């Protein structure tokens, strides 16, 4: 059986905030606003336990420090749509911090290098931004679930190991800098499946020769589905 295409997603399966799931066992696609501090798997596990259904998955991981739209798939035929949802473009809003680098490229690990950012100008930021529009090649973070030699990279990273990671082709459809205060730059990105926003923050810092890491991230949309339509996790669990 071939994977469903995005156009094949039945809208009647979509359940956002205020739409109480009527037939969870028959398959439902839940739009959830993932809170900061939990993993995507934590959300899936809590939905599984509250719904009393074993077959539950999601369509696109969010890091623990990230918030925003997580699509949770409960029972068939919803779980069969995973690849269709995964292919949809993603939209994020976030903040990167210039002048500081971390091993994970976000705030989950400690700062290991600092650089003076005082010479930077708005023109420098704009010139760096334009390098990361369109189709680009991106190296996945060591702290990621990518497998090399049969093992997740984050497991190697936690042992202090670093291995060469082949770059991957991703697409940045829009990359807008929306604010700059002190060392923090806010941004909005629309991108393809497989894009690491942490790697984008790292690469912008490298282009500016001062380093950078991600300090905040929120996924606001997946294709036509918005986080404004999503359940809070606690409200959803109350109705399952």
pLDDT digits (tens, 9 = 90+) for 140-188: 887 777 787 778 777 877 887 777 788 999 999 999 999 999 999 999 9
What's the alpha-carbon Rg for the chain, to the nearest Å? 19
How much is the pLDDT for 151?
A: 80
Angle at 49 between CA 218 and CA 5, to 5 degrees: 55
Residue 5 has pLDDT above 70, yes or no: no
pTM over 0.85? The answer is yes
Bridge-partner residues for 175, per DSSP? 189
How much is the pLDDT for 221?
A: 98
Residues 180 and 71 occupy one common structural domain: no
Pair type for strands 184-191 and 90-98: antiparallel
Phi-psi region at 47: left, alpha or beta (left = phi > 0; alpha = psi -120 to 50): alpha
Q: Residue 137's domain spans which residues? A: 90-222
Catalytic member of 23, 42, 63, 124: 63
Pair type for strands 168-181 and 147-148: unpaired
Is 63 annotated in the active site?
A: yes
Contact 140, 165 (CB under 8 A): yes
Within a domain: residue 1?
A: no
Residues 113 and 217 occupy one common structural domain: yes
d(C-alpha 228, C-alpha 167), whole Å? 33
Residues 65 and 11 occupy one common structural domain: yes
Confidence class of residue 203 from pLDDT cuts 50, 70 and 90? Answer: very high
Confidence class of residue 8 from pLDDT cuts 50, 70 and 90? Answer: confident
How many domains does the chain contain in total?
2
Nearest-CA neighbor of 233 among 43, 52, 48? 43
């Amino acid at each position: 059986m071939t994977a469903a295409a995005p156009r094949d997603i039945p809208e009647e399966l979509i359940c956002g905030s205020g739409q109480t799931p009527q037939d969870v066992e028959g398959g439902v696609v839940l739009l959830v606003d993932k809170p900061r501090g939990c993993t995507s798997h934590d959300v899936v596990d809590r939905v599984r336990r509250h719904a009393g259904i074993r077959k539950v998955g999601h369509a696109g991981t969010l890091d623990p420090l990230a918030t925003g739209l997580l699509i949770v798939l409960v029972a068939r035929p919803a779980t069969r749509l995973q690849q269709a949802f995964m292919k949809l473009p993603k939209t994020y809003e976030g903040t990167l911090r210039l002048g500081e680098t971390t091993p994970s490229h976000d705030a989950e690990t400690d700062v290991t290098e600092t650089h003076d950012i005082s010479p930077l100008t708005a023109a420098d930021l704009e010139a760096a931004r334009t390098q990361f529009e369109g189709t680009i090649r991106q190296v996945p973070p060591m702290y990621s679930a990518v497998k090399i030699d049969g093992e997740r990279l984050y497991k190697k990273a936690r042992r202090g190991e670093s291995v060469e990671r082949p770059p991957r082709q991703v697409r940045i459809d829009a990359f807008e800098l929306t604010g700059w205060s002190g060392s923090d730059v806010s941004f909005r990105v629309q991108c393809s499946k497989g894009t690491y926003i942490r790697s984008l923050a790292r690469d912008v810092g490298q282009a500016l020769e001062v380093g950078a890491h991600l300090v905040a991230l929120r996924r606001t949309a997946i294709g036509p589905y918005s986080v404004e339509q999503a359940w809070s996790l606690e409200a959803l669990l109350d109705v399952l």
